[in-house]
């Protein structure tokens, strides 16, 4: 992991930025204004989104000395699999439009193959999930479901995810309707409504059976059908429905309240995913990292995934210290795709991992268990 740093010390500087601020500046130049607004923007005046990243600064870790942290083990266990690193790529529905190499989600999956960082593929992908899964090679991945209102279509997406070998079904709870996003309204930029990110949907046999004519012949009608079937409102009673339809581990994305975490754990879900969707869905909320400790308490022994506002290796280590089992990277890898395709995203992930690894070395945390034992304090 320290290859990037060691090469830098000997004068071989990396091609892409190693910090979020410079990365975002590069992405701002690489993306069209409307796409940049869609990715960079959030809900309302974006206060919650900004708090997500800012709140990491009021958590701090205390180093331990006289510990042999010469070699570090960053691996974690999740769903019975050992992953080499504690980070994963969060589902992002615009990869299809973003990637500089025009490979979209395929590029994200390739970054996963290059780094061993699992990719959670979004329902809203510009490539059929079968192709995305294949591009990830040996690195296991997850599938994120926006549950359609049409049960047969939901079943089809779930069984496809199972058939291609995804290791978990991540059910997003907070986006059955899109939040109030002024930047999108001001720039008429909803990629879904232009069919830009719907190829995974359009390739689905059940979805196609709902149409009079295939999406290739009548894209407007296909987009209309997508809009009509998108966004089932889920309640706790639906957990059984999912259980009866898949053997995949179930992950609930968007849980932020202690009682919701406890309820999910009581119902036997396999992991809880604490996230406020990067501040894109609701404004006026609490920074996600500040909600994590309470969610972890509510979850008991159920693993907790986390995202929203993670921008660096030290953010990753803090989230682990506060009880996350694995930490999702969102906007940073997408900016990596924007500036350098699969290689750019892989570089961003490797930089974040290298920083986390070096921090663990310096702080005397040779393992993730040591990180958790050290914890983080509110400053
Ligand atoms: C998202 N996110 C998201 N989540 C999801 O469950 N399905 C999706 O298709 C998308 N699409 C999406 C598009 C874009 C452009 C962004 C920025 C985010 C939310 C994502 O999984 C994650 O929760 C956030 O990105 C975390 O916030 P940060 O760290 O990126 O600010």
Q: Separation of 217 CA from ligand 1 center, angstroms? A: 30
275 is in an annotated binding site: yes
Q: Closest Cα to atom 3, ligand 1: which residue?
A: 92
Q: Which residues are catalytic?
A: 277
The answer, yes or no, to whether any atom of ligand 1 lies below 6 A from the CB of 330, is yes
Which numbered atom of ligand 1 lies nearest the CA of 49?
31
What is the structure's pLDDT at 102? Answer: 81
Q: Do residues 174 and 254 lie in contact, with contact meaning Cβ atoms separated by under 8 Å?
A: yes
Exposure string over 162-194, b if 16+ CB within 10 A, otherwise e: bebebbbbbbbbbbeeebebebbeebebebbee
Phi-psi region of 277 (alpha: psi -120 to 50; beta: other; left: phi over 0): left
Which residue has the CA at smallest separation from atom 15 of ligand 1? 39
Average pLDDT, the chain: 95
What percent of the chain lies above the pLDDT cut of 90?
Answer: 88
In the chain, the domains with their CATH numbers are 3-378 (3.20.20.70)
One-character DSSP codes across 204-225: -HHHHHT-SS-TTT-HHHHHHH
Atom index in ligand 1 nearest the CA of residue 254 equals 23
Q: pTM above 0.90?
A: yes
> What is the token pair recorded at 208?
């196609």
Q: Which of 245, 350, 324 is nearest to 7 (CA)?
A: 350
Q: 116 C-alpha vs ligand 1 centroid, how far in Å?
A: 20
* Ligand 1 pocket test target in 93, 142, 335 with most atoms within 8 Å of CB: 93
pLDDT at residue 1, rounded to an integer: 58
> Does any ligand 1 atom lie closer than 6 A to the CB of residue 337?
no
Q: How far is the CA of 111 from the centre of ligand 1 (A)?
A: 17
Q: 34 labelled as ligand-binding?
A: no
Q: What's the ipTM? A: 1.00
Q: Is 340 annotated as a binding residue?
A: no
35-47 pLDDT, tens per residue?
899 999 999 999 9
Q: How far is CA 285 from CA 40, 247, 351, in A?
A: 18, 34, 30
Tell me, what's the pLDDT at 6?
87
Q: Is 184 in the pocket of ligand 1 (CB under 6 A)?
A: no
N-terminal to C-terminal alpha carbon distance within the chain: 30
Pick the atom of ligand 1 nearest to 120's CA.
Answer: 21
The beta strands (E) that lie in the chain are given as 59-60, 76-78, 81-83, 87-89, 120-121, 142-145, 169-172, 250-253, 271-274, 304-306, 326-329, 377-378
**How many A from CA of 277 to the centre of ligand 1?**
5
Successive 10-residue mean pLDDT values, the chain, 379 residues? 82 92 97 91 97 98 97 97 97 88 92 98 95 97 98 98 98 95 84 81 96 95 94 97 98 98 98 98 97 98 98 98 98 97 97 97 98 97
**Angle at the Cα of 294 from the Cα atoms of 292 and 295, rounded to 5 degrees:** 65
3-state secondary structure of 363: helix
Closest ligand 1 atom, residue 42 Cα: 17
Q: Atom 10 (ligand 1): residue with closest C-alpha?
A: 92
Q: Is 29 annotated as a binding residue?
A: no
């Amino acid at each position: 992991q320290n290859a990037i740093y060691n090469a830098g010390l000997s004068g071989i500087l990396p091609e892409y930025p190693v910090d979020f601020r410079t990365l975002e500046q590069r992405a701002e130049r690489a993306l069209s204004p409307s796409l940049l607004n869609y990715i960079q923007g959030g809900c309302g005046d974006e206060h919650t989104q900004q708090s997500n990243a800012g709140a990491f600064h009021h958590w701090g870790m205390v180093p331990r000395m006289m510990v042999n942290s010469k070699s570090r083990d960053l691996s974690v266990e999740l769903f019975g699999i050992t992953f080499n690193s504690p980070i994963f790529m969060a589902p992002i529905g615009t990869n299809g439009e973003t990637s500089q190499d025009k490979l979209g989600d395929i590029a994200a999956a390739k970054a996963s193959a290059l780094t061993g960082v699992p990719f959670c593929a979004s329902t809203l992908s510009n490539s059929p999930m079968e192709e995305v899964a294949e591009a990830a090679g040996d690195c296991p991945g997850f599938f994120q479901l926006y549950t359609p209102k049409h049960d047969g279509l939901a079943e089809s997406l779930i069984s496809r995810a199972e058939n291609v070998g995804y290791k978990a079904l991540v059910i997003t709870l907070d986006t059955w309707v899109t939040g109030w996003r002024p930047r999108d309204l001001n720039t008429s930029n909803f990629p879904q409504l232009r069919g830009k990110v719907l190829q995974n949907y359009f390739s689905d046999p059940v979805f196609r059976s709902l149409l009079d004519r295939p999406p290739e012949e009548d894209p407007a009608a296909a987009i209309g059908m997508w809009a009509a079937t998108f966004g089932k409102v889920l309640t706790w009673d639906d957990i059984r429905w999912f259980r009866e339809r898949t053997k995949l581990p179930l992950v609930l994305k968007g849980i932020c309240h202690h009682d919701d975490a406890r309820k999910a754990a009581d119902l036997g879900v396999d992991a809880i995913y604490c996230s406020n969707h990067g501040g894109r869905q609701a404004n006026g909320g609490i920074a996600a990292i500040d909600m994590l400790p309470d969610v972890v308490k509510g979850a008991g022994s159920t693993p907790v995934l986390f995202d929203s506002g993670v921008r660096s290796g030290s953010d990753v280590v803090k989230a682990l210290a506060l009880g996350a089992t694995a930490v999702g990277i969102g906007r940073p890898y997408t900016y990596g795709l924007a500036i350098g395709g699969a290689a750019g995203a892989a570089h961003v992930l490797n930089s974040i991992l290298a920083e986390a690894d070096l921090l663990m070395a310096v702080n005397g945390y040779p393992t993730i268990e040591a990180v958790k034992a050290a914890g983080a304090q509110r400053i």
